[in-house]
């Protein structure tokens, strides 16, 4: 009984997916639930399978087994463009903006219906004022932080119900991390977000729920507020590197 009420509240349920890349078994039974209107974060070491989980949901690396249920529909095995058109926006890692296109063209390309950009332009440029100023520059002329903002902005052009955001803070200067956090916080007012984030401070301040992925398995899940208290768990799965930022945040 609990199960059914749970899945009703979930916008996205990933159920025991197995994903292979070539012969490599990357994901072994990963399960992730994302409640409507929440931010859920995937945590784990480098190479644990977080990015592959997002790609599998998106249909870019289709799973061999398991189900992905989005908004009441099974979407696993469908082509990526169809999955996107269900209302999922994808912000890949490494700021995959299109270098040969201008900022404006990058945004235009993300339109699913004519006029998507016009309707959301005000919101997007309020969130990332830099982009309006830079709209005529090409992707390869932007700085790393500007590219990251463009990558997020691109996912906001159509009406998406769910955003998959991969490492938005990667390689950003501290001041830009703040701006990115503000932006994501504002986004959660209107959409649901599944985040991959290495920066534990950022993750802990943004997300309500977490799923830890380790060696291709989802090993732990729960409320972020519980995880912050659980130093052992953090140490075991996220490594010692997280320790330092936590102590600084506590020092503040």
Phi, psi of 151, deg, nearest 5:
-60, -40
Inter-residue contact 103 to 147 (CB < 8 Å):
no
136 belongs to the binding site for another protein (CB under 8 A): no
Ramachandran area for residue 12 (φ above 0: left; ψ -120 to 50: alpha; else beta) = beta
Among 16, 35, 38, 101, binds another protein (CB under 8 A): 101
220 belongs to the binding site for another protein (CB under 8 A): no
85 belongs to the binding site for another protein (CB under 8 A): yes
9 belongs to the binding site for another protein (CB under 8 A): no
Residue 58 vs 212, nearer CB to another protein? 58
80 belongs to the binding site for another protein (CB under 8 A): yes
Among 9, 25, 64, 99, binds another protein (CB under 8 A): 99
Phi, psi of 162, deg, nearest 5:
-135, 135
Among 36, 108, 188, 221, binds another protein (CB under 8 A): 108
Residue carrying the six token digits 């992730």: 32
Give the Cα separation of 252 and 241 in Å (integer).
18
CA end-to-end distance (rounded Å), the chain: 44
Tokens of 154: 């691109």
Among 79, 141, 236, 249, binds another protein (CB under 8 A): 79
Longest dimension (CA), the chain: 54
* DSSP label of 231: H
58 belongs to the binding site for another protein (CB under 8 A): yes
Interface characters, 141-180, with another protein (x: CB under 8 A): -------------x---x----------------------
67 belongs to the binding site for another protein (CB under 8 A): no
DSSP per residue over 133-182, as a string?
HTTTSBGGGS-HHHHHHHHHHHHHSS--SEEEEE-TTTT--HHHHHHHHH
Compute the least distance from the CB of residue 128 to another protein, in Å. 18
Q: Is 202 exposed, middle or buried (0-12, 13-18, 19+ CB in 10 A)?
A: buried
105 belongs to the binding site for another protein (CB under 8 A): yes
Residue 80 vs 233, nearer CB to another protein? 80
Point out which residues bind another protein (CB under 8 A): 58, 60, 77-82, 84-85, 90, 92, 96, 98-101, 105-106, 108-110, 112, 154, 158
């Amino acid at each position: 009984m609990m199960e059914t009420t749970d899945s009703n509240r979930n916008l996205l349920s990933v159920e025991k997916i197995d994903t292979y890349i070539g012969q490599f078994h990357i994901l072994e039974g990963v399960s992730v639930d994302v409640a409507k209107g929440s931010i859920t974060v995937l945590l784990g070491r480098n190479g644990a399978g977080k990015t592959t989980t997002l790609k599998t949901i998106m249909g870019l690396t289709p799973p061999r087994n398991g189900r992905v249920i989005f908004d009441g529909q099974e979407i696993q095995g469908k082509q990526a463009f169809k999955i996107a058109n269900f209302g999922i926006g994808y912000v890949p890692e490494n700021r995959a903006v299109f270098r040969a296109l201008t900022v404006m063209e990058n945004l235009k390309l993300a339109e699913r219906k004519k006029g998507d950009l016009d309707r959301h332009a005000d919101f997007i440029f309020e969130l990332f004022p830099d982009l309006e100023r830079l709209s005529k520059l090409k992707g390869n002329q932007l700085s790393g932080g500007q590219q990251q903002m463009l990558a997020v902005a691109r996912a906001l052009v159509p009406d998406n119900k769910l955003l998959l955001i991969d490492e938005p803070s990667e390689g950003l200067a501290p001041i830009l991390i703040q701006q990115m956090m503000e932006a994501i916080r504002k986004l959660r007012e209107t959409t649901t977000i599944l985040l991959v984030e290495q920066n534990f401070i950022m993750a802990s301040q943004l997300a309500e729920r977490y799923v830890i992925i380790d060696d291709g398995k989802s090993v732990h899940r729960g409320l972020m507020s519980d995880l912050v208290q659980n130093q052992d768990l953090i140490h075991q799965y996220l490594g010692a590197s997280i320790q330092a930022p936590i102590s600084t945040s506590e020092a503040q």
